[in-house]
Structure 1
Amino acid sequence: MCTPNDTPSPNVKKALAKRIFYNIATLRKAYAEEKLYRLVPGSPFLPSELSDCYRIFLKNTSRDLHKWHHYFPVYHRHFEKYRNRPVKIIEVGVSRGGSLKLWKAYFGPQAEIHGIDIKESCLRFHRPEEGIHVHIGDQADRAFLRDVLRQCPAPDIFIDDGGHTTRQQIVTFLECYPHISERGVYLCEDVHANACEKFIDSRMTFLEFAKNHIDFLYAWYSNSRNAFYPYLCKNPPSVEIPLLTAITRSLHFYDSIVVFERGKVCMPRSEIR
C-alpha cells in the first residue's frame, strides 16, 4: 500500500494525472453501444440555484473571494442544517480572507470559524472577538493539525481548500476526519487538481484514495462465509469493523468535491415479517 510520504517518479505523476481520463475512456470503450456514454455537447454556464450562500457570494465586491459557482449547491446541501446554530468550522486555506467572511455571514453570529493557512500575512484576518481565528502552519504537518484540533475540538464542518497537493489532502483527512463531531461533515474541494501533475506528490491521488473508501461502507459483510447470515439472527455474533465504517454514514462525489458525512453506524439487521 502506498503511503502519503511515498514520492512518485515523474512517469508515475504523469500516469496519475491522466487516471481520471483513462477511467472515462475505459468505461466508454467497454460500453460503447450504451447511450449513457456517447459524447454530447456540453451546456454553457448557467448560474446555480440561488441559495443564501450563493447570494452572499454574488453580492461580494471586495475581490477577496474565489469560488467555483457550481460548488454552492453542494455547500447548501451539506451545510444548511448548521445555520444559525453554535457551529464550529475549520477551513484550510485563508488566502484573502473572503471565505472566512462568507461563512460568518452564512452561518450566523454563533459560528466559531478557524482558518488555516501557511502564510503569516493571513493573521490580519484573525478576529477572535468576532469568532474568527487564524492558525498559521502547514496542513501536511500532523502535529500542527493536532494543535489546531485541540483549540477547536470536534468541529462540525471541516473544509479542505488548502494547498491542493495530493499528499496534503490525504494527510489532512487521515489526521482530522476521526476528530470531527459525530454528525459532522468533511468536505475536500478543488479535487480536479488531482489531474494536474504539479499537485501530485504522493503515489495515490486523493480522488482514488477517496474512491477506495466506498468499500469501507460494506465492511460489515466481509466477516462471514455467508455475508448475510449474521444479520438475520436475533442475537447476531459480534462483528469487528474498521473505525471508519463505524463512524461514516455516507460518501458523496461531485465535480471537484468529495464529501464524507459522519454518523454512528450500527450493525445492519435484516428481518422477515
Structure 2
Amino acid sequence: MAEEHEGREEQEAASEETASEESGEQPVQQYPHPGLETRALNRFPEAAVQPVARTVPEDPDAEVEGELFQYWSKTPGGHKWLHYFELYEEIFFSLGSRPVRMLEIGVFRGGSVRMWSHCLPPGSTVVGIDLDETCKQFEDVASNLHVRIGSQADPDFLKSVAEEFGPFDFILDDGSHHTDHMIDSFTHLFPEALVPGGQYLVEDTHTNYWLDYRDSAYSFVDFSKDLIDMMHAIYLDRPDERFFREEHSFRLNEVQVPEIAAMLKEIRFRDSLVLFQKHRHYHLPVSRLLQE
C-alpha cells in the first residue's frame, strides 16, 4: 500500500543513518526470538560462515528474464526485488492462456498492477486494493484493471471486493507487511475468495524480521510454518501407514480435519516469498504395498 511503502522508504533511510553512527548509540534491532535462527544451524556438524557478494555481473538486469520483468522495467513507479521475478514467471505460466482473475493487495505507484494487467491473458481481470485514494488514478476499467480503496485489515472490505470481482485465481499480498495484516488477510481470503486450484503469494516476508513491521510476536512466517503442520493433520492420532493402505482392514474411510487442512495442497518458501496453492479436490492419500 502506498503509505506503507512510503513509510518503508523512510525507515530504510533512517536505518542507513543509524548504520553510519558510532556503535552503541542505538540499540540493535534483531529478530524478536533471540537464538531461534540457530536452532536449525546447530544441527549441522560444521556451521561455517559464507560471505554473500553483490550481484555479478554488475548489471543485475542481465540475470532477470521473462515477459513480466521486461514490461515492469519500463513502467514508471515500479518497486520490486529482482529475485521475485523468477517465481512470478512460474506463476504466470501456470495460469495458462485462459482469462483469470487476480487480486493484488497494495497498489503503491501502480507498477505491479499495470504489469499483471498487461501480461495476463486477454479478458483477465486485475483488482488492486490500497489505503491511498490517489491509487485510484491507476484504474483502467476498459482494460479490466480496477482499484478499490480500503484496508486489508478490514474483513468487510475484503469480503466486498471478493463479492464484486472474485473468486480469484491468483492473490498477491504486497500490502502493509505488518504481520497481523498478512495473517488476517490470508485467513479471510484464502478459504473463500480463492478458487480451488488457485495460488496465494505473500511477498516481502523478510519484513517479519524487522521490528518496525511486527505488530505481534507471532509472525506470518511463524503462521506459515504452523500451516505446514496443519497440512499433515490427517496423520495425527493414526499410529502408522496401514490406516491409509489399499485393501487393509485398518484403512480409514473418512478423517475429520480442520477445513483449512483440507484446502492446503502446497506451501513453497523462497527468500522473502511464501506461495500457497489450494486443493481442487482433497481425498485421503493412498498407500499401496506391491506384492513380491
TM-score range, shorter chain: 0.7 to 0.9
Contact 1:84-1:111 within 8 A present in 2 as well: no
2:233 is matched with: 219
| Separation of aligned partners in 1, 2:133 and 2:40 | 46
The question of 1:40 aligning with 2:54 is answered no
The question of 1:258 aligning with 2:274 is answered yes
Q: Secondary structure at the match of 1:212?
A: helix
By how many angstroms is 1:233 displaced?
A: 4.5
By how many angstroms is 1:61 displaced?
A: 4.9
1:98 is matched with: 111
Aligned pair count?
254
With over 3 angstroms needed to count, the CA separation of the structure-2 counterparts of 1:69 and 1:21, relative to structure 1, is farther
Residue type at the aligned position of 2:180: R
Q: In the alignment, which of 251, 255, 263 is matched to residue 239 of structure 1?
A: 255
1:97-116 pair list within 5 angstroms: 97-116=110-129
In angstroms, what is the RMSD of aligned CA positions? 2.1
The question of 1:125 aligning with 2:125 is answered no
Q: Secondary structure at the match of 1:272?
A: coil
Residues 170-203 of structure 1 show CA distances to partners (whole Å, capped at 9, x for unaligned) of 1000000012010100000011111111111123
Contact 1:17-1:194 within 8 A present in 2 as well: no
Q: Which structure has the bigger radius of gyration?
A: 2
With over 3 angstroms needed to count, the CA separation of the structure-2 counterparts of 1:148 and 1:28, relative to structure 1, is same
Residue type at the aligned position of 1:215: D
The question of 1:50 aligning with 2:65 is answered yes
Residue type at the aligned position of 2:79: H
2:7 is matched with: none
| Separation of aligned partners in 1, 2:38 and 2:156 | 41
With over 3 angstroms needed to count, the CA separation of the structure-2 counterparts of 1:215 and 1:209, relative to structure 1, is same
| Separation of aligned partners in 1, 2:163 and 2:246 | 42
| Separation of aligned partners in 1, 2:29 and 2:169 | 32
Structure 1, unaligned runs of 5 or more: 1-13
Residue type at the aligned position of 1:195: Y
The question of 1:207 aligning with 2:221 is answered yes
Contact 2:100-2:121 within 8 A present in 1 as well: no
| Separation of aligned partners in 2, 1:15 and 1:240 | 46
2:159 is matched with: 146
By how many angstroms is 1:16 displaced?
A: 10
Point out which structure has higher relative CO (alpha carbons under 8 A, 6+ apart).
1
TM-score with structure 2 setting the length: 0.81
